[in-house]
Structure 1
Amino acid sequence: MSTDGAPRRSRLLPNILGIVMLLMGLALLAGGIKLATLGGSLYYLIAGIGVGFTGVLLLQGRRSAIGLYAAVLFASTIWSLYEVGLDWWQLVPRLALWFALGVVLLLPWFRKPLLRQPAPKATAALSIAVVLAGLCALASQFTNPGEIKGELDRETANMPNTAPAMPDGDWNSYGRSAHGDRYSPLAQITPDNVSKLTPAWTYRTGDIPGPNDPGETTAENTPLKVNGMLYVCTPHSQVIALDPDTGKEIWRFDPKISTQNAPNFKGWAHMTCRGVSYHDDAAYAAASPVTDASAPAAAPTACPKRIFVPTADTRLIALNADTGKMCEDFGDKGQVDLRANIGEFTAGGYYSTSPPAVTKNLVVIGGHVTDNVSVDEPSGVIRAYDVHDGHLVWNWDSGNPDDTTPIAPGQTYTRNSPNMWSMFSVDEKNGMLYLPMGNQMPDQWGGNRTPESEKYSAGLTALDIDTGHVKWTYQFTHHDLWDMDVGGQPTLMDLKTADGVKPAVLASTKQGSIYVLNRLTGEPIVPIHEVPVPQGAVEGDRTSPTQPKSDLNFMPPVMQERDMWGVTPFDQMLCRIDFKSLRYEGPFTPPSLQGTLVYPGNFGVFDWGGLSVDPVRQVAFVNPSYMAFRSKLVPAAEVAGGPGRKSETEGVQPNKGAPYGVILEALLSPMGLPCQAPAWGYVAAVDLTTHQTIWKHKNGTVRDSSPVPIPLTMGVPSLGGTFTTASGVSFLSGTLDQYLRAYDIRNGKQLWEGRLPAGAQTTPMTYTGKDGRQYVVVVAGGHGSLGTKQGDYVMAFALPESK
């Protein structure tokens, strides 16, 4: 019988650990060498040597392994504090694994086989290193990097709500009013009782993504509550009227999209309906009574109350708001064909994803154009139709901006002119319409853009409602090469300033600036500065030497290598290698053949969710997100041999007709997590009288986006908007986790959260039912591009009924 079996068994655990640490050391060494050659941190190279030699010493059974590892852990702790300070989520990839291995080495099953003789100094050194790392982790629990704590010091700024009048309990436009303020005067739900909100009813639309639907099939709808009903639209352009108290279906309209389930349907970029629009003849008659008794009365119409819905197969349909039947006096038996005068395009390459603007006499609509397919895409024309009979009244084509006379039959609008895919805002009192503009395709190359497209791209343009003529335009990104189209609905309000009350328009943007302009003249109310930006476009293109930056902004600081993140040192190291491999000199670094880091990315700090305002308190409630992307230009000769376009963020975007295609994707680690450190999403409030951020808190958990459903509040991105109420309670549902949340507008405290059955990348809304209760409604249908759980839910929450 062998006498050394027991010693061999006792050496088993240290040997296993030694092999693991040797392999980890070799991986760090290989990656560290690559990172060092790119000019990055030397830590990983040095740590690889230290961890690898610790593994070798463990395999040799030498007690010096403990002392060497103590030095590695101690040095890692000091380096971590130097790079990121006491930031818990930043410390995790730098110290968590090394701390755990240090604890393991102190366990007797690993330590005793190495210490045939007492070695108190080595053990003490490792113990001290472990305690120091642990204390850093503990201390970091009491810090909140990136957050701002504060409290609004007033309940009112003595300002009236000047948005168009409607019953307090209604929500009759996408942004509640045509001003896009998303402010409700309701106050039944308060900071004191909001925690008692419970589900009141749930309705399922039955419209769920099919096998041939595009990847970005999304439920982004904000319902309307008007005419005693709740109006919902679905991704496939169905319109449903619900009882606002019970959620029971009253009527449903299915446009039967002509291309649904067709073989090429899956190749579309989007499938969504953000909302419908409402028009009531009686409301305008009441607002503008006839004073001349001899004037003829307006002819009655079969549809005095109308719902307008754009469809995914390029139609604008008018429905009787009472019955859901098509208004046959509008256009061709209830619909207008938006393909008219557009020219050729691939199915799905042009249609309106957002509700039209509705005025007394007009319904005005823009259109989404698929990004980065070619340089010969449909026009971004804005068209105004008679709200009753559907004839074309005017058209504004940014490629031919001065001629708004309706286009002649057989002619075609300017191909590939900048489009407006988001939501309009309307100031009927002053006769103006506000357009958040996109740019001319393709997004990342602009060598052949026209002067007209350059003038109207990526900014805000105000048109005369009656004629479509330009009143003013202000550009927020010059020669946009980063997909910085203005996605959010502009918000109109009267703003209290040191120079008196001014009529303002607020435009939130992807780059993080919130531009505040006089909505009558286009002149800045909050200062805007032209700041120098990186130069050096690819051959055949150019860059603007400066870009406009508002004094009111949520732009992130310039990203650095130390901002790269991961769950472990290994994926963090790979992200740092990616960072150093890409071209990046700060915001607006030009696209390149090398590959460029785009931060903020093209999802933006603010996208189509926009912002909400409390005009009485003069406060804005916002939900900024921070996600980096990368783009890489691909010479046209190589595009044909590439993987091809799968979606707007997958594969090679062809840009047919341009000298370069482009690869666009989020900056993710090999584990599929963001390469940049959290937090990735916040909620915040801005004092609009001072332009200062009152408070800013990270928001949302990784419960529904991580392999282990732990509700860690890391602050996750949100896609969708907010609303706020007179009681000071504000709501948001757009985070990657499946919750509707309520916040105190005064200090940002989360007051309540309601679990949802699917993702809710939408903007919620509120109204009063026939029963007198205040309801909060959210559509939870998920988002294909973000990977949130999909569904077909409309959910209402309310306070318990009083007995």
Structure 2
Amino acid sequence: MQCTKTTSKLIAVCFLYISFVSCDKTTPKKPSYTSWSTYLGDEGRSHYSTLSQITKENVKDLQVVWSYEAPDWGQMQMNPIVVDTLLYGVTAALRAFAVHAATGEEIWRFGDSLQVWHSTSRGVSYWENGNDKRILFTRGSDLYALDALTGKPIPSFGIQGKIDLRSGLPEEDKDKFVISNTPGTIYKDLIVMPLRISEDIDAARGDIMAFNVITGAVEWVFHTIPYPTEEGYETWKDQNEFVGAANNWAGMAVDKELGIIYIPTGSAAPDFYGGMRKGSNLFSDCLLALDANTGERIWHFQFTHHDIWDRDPPAPPNLLLVERKDKKIPAVAQVTKQGYVYVFDRRTGEPLFDIAEKTVPSSTLKGEEAWPTQPFPIAPKPFARQSNELTADDISPFAENREALKELLIKADKRIYAPPNLSPVLLLPGYDGAAEWGGTAADPEEGIIYVNSNEMAWVMQMDTVIQNGKVTSLGEQVYLNNCVICHKVDRSGMAASGFPSLIDIKSRKTKEEVAVQIVTGKGMMIGFPQIPDREKKALIDYLFDENDKMEVESEKSNQYPLPYKHAGYNKFLDNKGLPGISPPWGTLHAINLNTGKYIWSIPLGDTPELGAEGKGTGTENYGGPIVTENGLLFIGATKDGYFRVFDKYTSKLLWEYKLPAAAFATPAMYEVNGKQYISIACGGEKLGTEKGNRVVTFALK
């Protein structure tokens, strides 16, 4: 952990600490946790409610009281918010909407009825000042401010109600792919926006930007890739024009009393080869504590040095109180893709559990310099299995091709932080991580977190770049530069990993539809607006098997400029498409951060394909839980499509309901006219599930 070094910053930190612990203010003012007016329930991202009408005794009586059917179908990752009597959300095609929170009656919907946006959204943000009430949400690179009561754009915000998220970025990045999947964080009259950008050589810089909620103007910018005169610049060697990202995409939390915003940052781009960015690469893969008023850094901690595994934090941090020596300490906890939990004093950045820097393997790729050590928290223990724990006995008992799986398992490098190589590396937890973007629930006053986790192994491998001498057309070269990681050299895709075949795309889409998707992206596919029109046309012709076989030997600008490229996202699966390792494949945990000990751990979800044997195997899951003060834990998230309620103290299953589509989203709990409700978005489509279009809401009979 490295804190600021200037005297003024030290004084600021000391003042914050003294003001916090003096005058009988040893703990922050306790929120009520009775509303759900912000993403994941509150600014501390607690996923927590003190509403108590639903109990362990009557939860079995929950029933659907209303269901809102959106006009479009597909992934709905959004966590609804509720203000007064209105529930706000975003459909699969990025249409913002408001419905009556007690009936589901649509009040307004904003979005072009003709143009369909194919990205994903995790929700909206809300701001008010007197009668000025605003919903802020993103579509493409635009951030909109809508009147919360009518859904109409507010003309005084930016240009006719919208601004470009790229407006605070350097000029050279203003035509690159930039969107936001996650709602911004509100602090006073500011909104600090997460950004999703490319993860390859075309990535924009991932600067943290705060915009004025009233005008849309850029108020402050923090450079996550430091400029030459800024602290941290020395941690980037040989930096060139191909380096970008280090963006926050997962969301953030804010302590309004301290005036500190906590921001987990992403990996630097390109993701899997860092030969052009030698060094530890601050402030990528960090938890940043910034002054929310100015963007000035107060402290930071880096979770992965020189990340070449895409091991960035996948969810917002949790703000909670943790007990040490009979005192409550305001803490910030961050879960990671590796399955680790890091806990810090949120005022100073001091770790509340020891963190050990351990030696990790070095790289064998030409030009790469993997960082020699990585930080491992001593406690709590990881909430997912680690690759180095696997043996041949861990092959799935359900696999018919066990010997082939054993052979690959034995052959692969299973060391923790084994760097990307030309031979297979077994990555467990996998690329998507153990913790996911749905986030972690917390008992904010008791120091306990509840985290759902995936245990899906993936095979990581690099390949040498195919250069133009082996390529017969410009379209093929553009494809190899931009599309091959997900859709493979032969265009066959990786359906089990969520990447479709493009071989027969001309039978499913028109050239116009493909052209739009190349620019805007779809689902978790990024867009490529930076591809010139000539190259985009050549790519489409190639995908439609209409290439003119134009030689590209002279097209030097189209060569991929690095010696290695990621070979693709391949899950470690058996011949039936199920995980190649033994269950559990998805888990749920309660962890006491006062002690670092686990309260309980259970499999989460079933595998219907295995019949009775699939009960309790756990399954891949996306979306997070919520917990209540009176002892309930609600979670959808699972591939099997159930909504479940557990006893948060014992993990006992109390109730389950088969949803109309899988709910890869975090639910929301709220109250209207004295009645308690819980709503969850059911969009499906991910993991090969049926697509859906509903927000389903439950209450007692």
Q: TM-score, normalised by structure 1?
A: 0.69
In the alignment, what sits opposite 2:595? 690
SS in 2 for 1:448: coil
Query: Residue type of the partner of 1:171?
Result: W
- Once the two structures are superposed, the pairs formed by residues 754-765 of structure 1 within 5 Å of their partners are 754-765=657-668
Q: How does 1:307-346 map onto structure 2 within 5 Å?
A: 307-311=135-139, 313-340=140-167, 341=169
- How far does residue 711 in structure 1 lie from its aligned partner after superposition? 5.8
- Seen in structure 2, the aligned counterparts of structure 1 residues 720 and 475 have a Cα distance that, compared at 3 Å, is same
Match of residue 398 from structure 1: 224
Q: Does 1:787 align with 2:688?
A: yes
Secondary structure of residue in 1 paired with 2:41: coil
Match of 1:563? 394
Would you say 1:225 and 2:82 are equivalent positions?
A: yes
**1:293 counterpart residue number:** none
- 1:281 aligned residue: 129
Match of 2:651 in 1: 748
Distance change >3 Å, CA 163–CA 365, structure 1 → 2: farther
Please give the alpha-carbon distance, in whole angstroms, between the structure 1 residues aligned to 2:229 and 2:257. Answer: 24
2:488 alignment counterpart: 651
Q: Distance in 2 between matches of 1:649 and 1:773?
A: 47
Aligned to 1:109: none
Residue equivalent to 1:237: 94
The 2-side partners of 1:162 and 1:656 are apart by 52
Aligned position for 1:188? 53
Tell me which moved more, 552-561 or 429-438.
552-561
User: What corresponds to 2:404 in structure 1?
Assistant: 574
Aligned with 2:675 (options 756, 773, 784):
773
Asked if 1:172 is matched to 2:37, the reply is: yes
Q: Check the 8 A contact 1:698/1:715 in 2, yes or no.
A: yes
State how far apart, in whole Å, the 2-side matches of 1:189 and 1:720 are. Answer: 22
Q: Which residue of 1 is the match for residue 119 of structure 2?
A: 271
Aligned residue for 1:761, secondary structure, equals: coil
Counterparts of 1:765 and 1:537, CA distance in 2: 47
Q: Is the 8 A contact 1:587 1:600 kept in 2?
A: no
Quote the Cα distance in structure 1 between the aligned partners of 2:341 and 2:49: 22
Shift of 1:379: 1.4
Note the C-alpha offset of 1:624: 1.8
Per-residue deviation, 1:524: 0.3
The aligned amino acid for 1:620 is I
Q: Report if aligned partners of 1:401, 1:470 keep a CA contact under 8 Å in 2.
A: no
Q: Is the 8 A contact 1:367 1:420 kept in 2?
A: yes
Q: Could you say which residue in structure 2 is the equivalent of 1:702?
A: 607
Deviation at 1:607, TM superposition (A): 1.8
> Which of 458, 471, 486 is equivalent to 1:629?
458
Deviations 1:179-210 (A, max 9, x none): 1111111111111111111111111111224x
State the match for 1:422 in structure 2: 250
The residue that corresponds to 1:388 in the other structure is 214
Q: CA deviation at 1:255?
A: 5.3
Report the secondary structure of 1:577's partner residue.
helix
Q: Is the 8 Å Cα contact of residues 237 and 309 (structure 1) preserved in structure 2?
A: no
How many pairs align? 587
Determine which of 301, 323, 347 is the counterpart of 1:474.
Answer: 301
Higher helix content, 1 or 2: 1
* 375 and 348 in structure 1: CA distance in 2 versus 1, 3 angstrom threshold: closer
Secondary structure at the aligned position of 1:579 is classed as helix
Aligned to 1:578, the other structure's residue is in SS state helix
Whole-angstrom CA distance in 2 between matches of 1:655 and 1:791:
41
Give the conservation status (yes or no) of the 8 Å contact 1:314–1:339. yes
Indicate how the Cα distance of structure 1 residues 789 and 366 shifts in structure 2: closer, same or farther if over 3 A, else same. Answer: same
Deviations 1:138-161 (A, max 9, x none): xxxxxxxxxxxxxxxxxxxxx999
Provide, for residues 487-527 of structure 1, a one-character-per-residue CA deviation record: whole Å limited to 9, x for no partner: 11111112222262211101000001110011111110122
User: Do structure 1's residue 198 and structure 2's residue 25 form an aligned pair?
Assistant: no
Structure 2 counterpart SS, 1:580: helix
Relative to structure 1, is the Cα distance of residues 575 and 256 closer, same or farther in structure 2, using a 3 angstrom cutoff?
A: same
CA distance, structure 2, for counterparts of residue 531 and residue 671 of structure 1: 38
Match of 1:734 among 620, 627, 637: 637
Q: Greater share of strand residues, 1 or 2? A: 2
Quote the residue 1:250 is aligned against.
107
1:720 is aligned, of 606, 623, 627, to: 623
2: CA distance between counterparts of 1:797 and 1:572? 43
* Residue 660 of structure 1: how far off its partner (Å): 0.9
Is residue 187–residue 727 contact of structure 1 (8 Å, CA) maintained in 2? yes
* Aligned 8 A contact 2:55 2:632 in 1: yes
1:647, 1:776 → 2: CA distance?
42
Spell out, residue by residue over 1:257-309, the C-alpha distance to the aligned partner (whole angstroms, 9 max, x if none).
97x47xxxxxxxx7100110001114xxxxxxxxxxxxxxxxxxxx6111100
Please tell me the residue identity of whatever aligns with 1:738: G
**1:668 CA drift (Å):** 1.1
CA displacement at 1:348 relative to structure 2: 8.5
Question: CA 1:348 to 1:234, structure 2 compared with 1: closer, same or farther past 3 Å?
Answer: farther
The residue aligned with 2:284 is 457
Distance 1:161 1:624 in 2: 30
% identical aligned pairs: 32
Per-residue deviation, 1:712: 2.2
CA distance in 1, matches of 2:278, 2:189: 33
Partner of 2:262: 434
Partner-residue secondary structure (3-state), 1:339: helix
Q: Secondary structure at the match of 1:171?
A: coil
Residues 69-104 of structure 1 show CA distances to partners (whole Å, capped at 9, x for unaligned) of xxxxxxxxxxxxxxxxxxxxxxxxxxxxxxxxxxxx
Q: Compared with structure 1, are the counterparts of its residues 281 and 754 closer, same or farther at alpha carbon in structure 2 (3 Å cutoff)?
A: same
Matches within 5 A, 1:399-548: 399-400=225-226, 416-449=244-277, 454-498=281-325, 500-548=327-375
Instruction: After TM superposition, give the deviation of residue 650 of structure 1 in Å.
Output: 4.1
Partners in 2 of 1:689 and 1:304 — Cα distance?
Answer: 42
Q: Secondary structure in 2 aligned to 1:590?
A: coil
Superposed displacement of residue 631, structure 1 = 1.4
**TM-score (structure 2 length as normaliser):** 0.79
Q: Give the residue type in structure 2 aligned to 1:420.
A: N
Rate the CA distance shift 1:463–1:598 in 2: closer, same or farther, 3 A: same
* Shift in CA distance, 496/521, structure 1 to aligned 2, threshold 3 Å: same
- Supply the distance in 2 between the matched residues of 1:655 and 1:461 (Cα, whole angstroms): 36
- The alpha-carbon distance between structure 1 residues 679 and 661, as it changes in their structure 2 partners (threshold 3 A), is same
1:667 aligns with 2:572: yes
Report the CA distance between 1:562 and its aligned residue: 1.9
Given that 2:134 and 2:146 are in contact with CA atoms closer than 8 Å, whether structure 1 keeps it comes out as: yes
557-566 or 426-435: bigger deviation = 557-566
- Secondary structure at the aligned position of 1:317 is classed as strand
Contact 1:204 1:794 in 2 (8 A): yes
SS in 2 for 1:479: coil
Which residue identity is paired with 1:488? A
Residue of structure 2 equivalent to 1:287? none
Does structure 1 retain, via aligned residues, the 8 Å contact 2:321–2:445? no
2:384–2:454 contact (8 Å) kept in structure 1: no
Larger Rg: 1
Q: Distance in 1 between matches of 2:644 and 2:185?
A: 29
Alpha carbons 1:446, 1:479 under 8 Å: kept = yes
- Give the one of 447, 455, 463 matched to 1:618: 447
CA offsets 1:396-436 (integer angstroms, 9 cap, x no match): 121236989xxxxxxxx996141111111111211111111
What runs of 5+ residues in structure 2 fail to find an aligned partner? 1-24, 231-240, 494-557
Identify if the C-alpha distance between structure 1 residues 339 and 689 changes in structure 2 by more than 3 Å, giving closer, same or farther: closer
